[in-house]
Amino acid sequence: MKLYNSNFAPNPRRVRIFLAEKGLSIPRVEVDLGKLEHKTAEFSALNPFQTIPVLELDDGTKISESIAICRYVEELHPEPNLFGATPLERATVEMWQRRVELHLMLPIAQVMRHSHPHMAQMEDPQIPDWAAANRPRALRNMLIFDGVLSDRPFIAGDRFTVADITGLVALDFTRPARIAIPAELGNLNRWFAELKARPSAAA
Instruction: Give the residue, 117 or 80, on which the prediction is more confident.
Output: 80
Alpha-carbon gap, residue 148 to 155, rounded angstroms: 7
Classify the phi-psi angles of 30: left when phi > 0, otherwise alpha if psi is within -120 to 50, otherwise beta: beta
110 HSE (CA, 13 A, CB side): 19
Give the pTM: 0.95
**Lowest-confidence segment of 5-9, 120-124, 175-179, 192-196 by average pLDDT:** 120-124
- For residues 62-76, give the mean pLDDT: 98
- For residues 44-53, give the mean pLDDT: 96
Look at the alpha carbons of 151, 155, 161, 165 in this order and tell me if their dihedral is positive or negative: negative
- Reported as a pLDDT band with limits 50, 70 and 90, residue 34 is confident
- For residues 141-161, give the mean pLDDT: 98
Bridge partners for 29 per DSSP: 4
- For residues 10-26, give the mean pLDDT: 97
Full set of structural domains in the chain with CATH: 2-76 (3.40.30.10), 87-202 (1.20.1050.10)
C-alpha distances (whole Å) from 51 to each of 4, 14, 33, 65, 88 are 10, 14, 10, 8, 32
Looking at residue 84, what is its pLDDT? 97
Looking at residue 38, what is its pLDDT? 94
**Mean pLDDT taken over the chain:** 96
